Amino acid sequence: MGTELSTVNSVHQQSKRFRRFQIAPYLFILPSLVGVLAFLLLPAAAIMVISFLKWNMISSPQFVGFSNYAKLIHSSTAIHSLLVTAYYVLLNIPLQTILAILLAILLNRKSRWMAVFRPIFVLPWLLTPVAVAATWLWLMNPGYGYFDHILTVLFGISPAWVSSKQLAMPAIALVNIWEFTGYNTLFFLAGLQGIPTHLYEAAEIDGAGPVRRFFTITLPLLQPTTMFVLITSVIGSFQVFGTIYVMTQGGPGNATNAIVYEIYQEAFQFFHMGYASALAVILFLGILVVTLLQFLYFRRHTTYDFS
């Protein structure tokens, strides 16, 4: 009898320990889950609901169904802001990615100075976008900016960077390329260091030069890293706001009026909360479609075999 009781108690204690261990992982991730719920899922659900309302944050909201979406489809301003955003993404992403790969290759050399150079290229990413935009706005000032002075002395030209419809968006893209290239370089550097060196040694023995080794070994085996960098960079580029807010406020002539800046204006300047929420939903759907297309492409072209 005593043996049976001890066995039952032992099983009971083990069951309690098992339940405690099962609960423990959820307790560890609970703070993150609360953050995601409070600052991501609930606001996203609220935006979906508000997009069907007519609300100026003062009077009582009115349900208008899909009127905000119909207005968006027929709005030349909204369509223009989407095109401006796409133009910015095309200006920003390819050059930023190429520079990050080249910079990672340069920083992947074995040298005692690399420990000094690598953090330097990440420093711009640590700065706030507002501070970066304000500094570059001063540098690009056509009256007293350093860039204006250098170009005037060397070439006798003084570009109107942010006051020109043709140069304003390239100038904003240049600022963000400078800020985020070093950050993406870190990922490519990690990817390069994960490629086995014996692959390069075998290719070199076979007579492959640096360019051929890059296109046949480095670039294909960097596909997982490239997928991550491109997806996160594209998502971030579609949401560009701080640089535009500081440098151009959507001008000149709506040349830099990207979709997030349009959402900001509709929500907090014109108080069209329902219409602004509809714009935000369309932006989310656009990012979702582009991200899925990227996943489908890289799933077919990515290799994880480093042997």
Q: Within this chain, do residues 235 and 272 fall inside the same structural domain, yes or no?
A: yes
pLDDT bracket for residue 121 (50, 70, 90): confident
Higher pLDDT, 131 or 299: 131
Residues 151 and 235 in one domain: yes
CATH assignment at residue 268: 1.10.3720.10
User: What is the per-residue pLDDT for 103?
Assistant: 93
How many Å apart are CA 293 and CA 242, to the nearest integer?
A: 27
Looking at residue 235, what is its pLDDT? 95
Q: Answer yes or no: is 58 within a domain.
A: no
Grade residue 303 by pLDDT with cuts at 50, 70 and 90: low
pLDDT at 20: 54
Residues 32 and 174 in one domain: no
Q: What is the pLDDT of residues 16-64, one digit of tens each?
A: 555 555 777 778 888 888 988 888 899 999 999 999 999 998 889 999 9
- Same domain, yes or no: 146 and 81: yes
Q: How many residues does the chain have?
A: 307
Whether the per-residue pLDDT at 160 is higher than 60: the answer is: yes
The answer to whether residues 8 and 101 belong to one domain is no
Secondary structure class of 232 (helix, strand, coil): helix
Q: Looking at per-residue confidence, does 171 or 154 come out higher?
A: 171
Question: What pLDDT score does 306 carry?
Answer: 57
> Is residue 62 situated within a structural domain?
no
Q: Are residues 117 and 225 in the same domain?
A: yes
Number of structural domains, the chain? 2
Is the pLDDT reported for residue 70 higher than 50?
A: yes
Mean local confidence (pLDDT), 248-255: 91
pLDDT at site 157: 78
pLDDT above 70 (res 3): no
State the pLDDT at residue 207. 87
What are the distances in angstroms from CA 14 to CA 24, 25, 28, 120, 180?
A: 15, 18, 22, 53, 52
Say if 191 falls within a structural domain.
yes
Domain of residue 240 covers: 67-301
Quote the pLDDT of residue 8: 46
- At residue 175 the predicted structure's pLDDT band, cuts being 50, 70 and 90, is very high
Q: Is residue 239 part of a domain?
A: yes
Interval 218-244 mean pLDDT: 94
Q: Say what the pTM is.
A: 0.86
Q: What percent of the chain has pLDDT over 90?
A: 57
pLDDT of 264 over the 70 cut:
yes
Residue 214: pLDDT band with limits 50, 70, 90: very high
Asked if residue 61 belongs to a domain, the reply is no
Same domain, 83 and 24: no
Residue 145's φ and ψ, nearest 5 degrees, are -70, 150
The span from the CA of 246 to the CA of 22, in Å, is 49
What's the rounded Cα separation, in Å, for the pair 110 and 118? 12
Distance CA 131, CA 77 (A): 29
Higher pLDDT, 246 or 21: 246
Does 176 have pLDDT greater than 50?
yes
- The whole-chain average pLDDT of the chain stands at 87
Q: Domain check: are 150 and 24 in the same one?
A: no
d(CA 299, CA 287): 18
The answer on 39 and 164 residing in a single domain is no
- Does residue 27 sit within a domain? yes
Cα separation, 91 vs 174, whole angstroms:
9
Q: Decide which of 292 and 144 is more confident.
A: 292
Model pLDDT, residue 301:
72
Q: How far is CA 112 from CA 137, 191, 267, in A?
A: 36, 20, 52
Quick check: 273 pLDDT over 90? yes
Whether 274 and 151 map to the same domain: the answer is: yes
Chain segment 127-158, per-residue pLDDT in tens? 888 999 999 999 888 877 888 788 888 877 77
Q: Does residue 14 lie in a domain region?
A: yes
Q: Is residue 124 part of a domain?
A: yes
- The verdict on 108 and 184 lying in the same domain is yes
Burial of 227 (0-12, 13-18, 19+ CB in 10 A): middle
pLDDT of 4 higher than 90? no
For residue 15, pLDDT beyond 70: no
The torsion angles phi and psi of 299, rounded to 5 degrees, stand at -65, -30
Same domain as 88, residue 33? no
